[in-house]
Amino acid sequence: MSASTLAPLAESTATRVARNLLRSRELAIVIVLALIVLVATTRRSSFLLSADGWRDTLLAPSILLLLAVGQMVVVVTRNVDLSVGSTLGIAAYVTGKIFVANPDTPVIVVFLAGLGVGAVVGALNGLLVTVFRVPALVITLGTMYVLRGALTHEVGSERMNAQDFPAHFEKLGTQQVLTIPVLTIIALVVVAAVGYYLHTARGGRELYAIGSDPDAADLYGLPSARRVFGAFVLCGALAGLAGVFSAARYATAFSGTGSGIELQAVAAVVIGGVAIFGGSGTVWGAAIGAFLLVTINRALPILGISEFWQGAVVGALIIGSIVLDRVLSIRRTHKLIEARDHA
């Protein structure tokens, strides 16, 4: 086949890729994120152009980034995990306790401990959801309160501060490689690994199928219970890892650590284009949604917008994302019906 014959095909493929890129939700979110950073930097150059500003722009979203990735995997199966904030708090407290008991504990051991604590919580949630068929919203709301209550009872008014954490662990919270924070690098590696799994592995594709139509997935013979259980374990493990990140980033742990961040994780996922009804969305979208949320919270005070309107802006983004998802879903359904009628 001659080169001239292949040229139209290559051009058609390139055009199709460009069209899909321009229509992607992720690109739209990136553009909004870039505009917010540009406006904030114009008002105050230190927002991005200073050493601290650049570091904070990349470092601040790292904790929410992990939570959003785990939440995305659960949401895509048509479930939700509201216990991630409490899991984060417990993992941060366990991290502090380990270092209090032995300040020379290797950092890798603390990371594994955080992952383990989170995985246990995720396994409990997954077991209750898949075996007892209780809605995930109810189960994880319950575990959120139980874990927070247990943490409050155990910690009380105690607060672990910088002196309770060894210097090498504290340094991890600000350490950089080629001006990129280490915690951000780890979070991005997690995003890449989970994204690769979802889009290349059979198990990842099955998660989307389960979220699209759970009944059809069961009839087709997919291991729905096992996949959903695994999604909750992964979500919990990443929340535990986020707890270690929190301890390193802020060098503190107390009963309120992570309180309320579970709603931010869900918001990041929804804003990132992951359908709250399951079956569609990408890890990249959830990650960009996390960056957008944190950047908005940092930028709006610089723009002179009050705290009330900061919350209103985030709420408007969530509502707009859900409405857009429903509109796109209805349009896809109509196109499928038209295609079937014309066939």
SS in 3 state form for 161-205?
CHHHCCHHHHHHCCCEECCEEHHHHHHHHHHHHHHHHHHHCHHHH
Q: How far is CA 184 from the centre of its chain?
A: 13
Q: Name residues whose C-beta falls within 8 Å of residue 120's C-beta, 6 or more positions apart in sequence.
A: 236
Helices 224-250, 62-75: crossing angle, 10 deg rounding: 170
Contact 103, 304 (CB under 8 A): no
7's tokens: 């040229």
340 band by pLDDT with thresholds 50, 70 and 90: low
Strand partners, 221: none
Cα distances (angstroms) measured from residue 202 to each of 194, 199, 209, 216, 229: 13, 8, 11, 17, 16
Q: What is the pLDDT of residue 8?
A: 46
276 band by pLDDT with thresholds 50, 70 and 90: confident
- Say how far apart CA 128 and CA 221 lie, in whole Å: 21
SS in 3 state form for 64-106?
HHHHHHHHHHHHCCCCCCCCHHHHHHHHHHHHHHHHHHCCCCC
Average pLDDT over residues 307-314: 76
Which residue segments constitute the domains of the chain, with CATH numbers given?
Answer: 56-302 (1.10.3470)
Q: What percent of the chain has pLDDT over 70?
A: 89
- Say how far apart CA 303 and CA 75 lie, in whole Å: 33
Q: Considering only 26-40, 138-152, 281-295, 310-324, which range has the smallest mean pLDDT?
A: 310-324
- Say how far apart CA 298 and CA 129 lie, in whole Å: 36
- Say how far apart CA 71 and CA 219 lie, in whole Å: 26
14 band by pLDDT with thresholds 50, 70 and 90: low
Cα distances (angstroms) measured from residue 309 to each of 20, 201, 301, 315: 34, 42, 10, 9
Q: What is the pLDDT of residue 4?
A: 46
Burial of 208: CB neighbours in 10 Å, binned 0-12, 13-18, 19+: middle
Over 70: is that where the pLDDT of 23 sits?
Answer: no
Phi, psi for residue 4 in degrees, rounded to 5: -65, -30
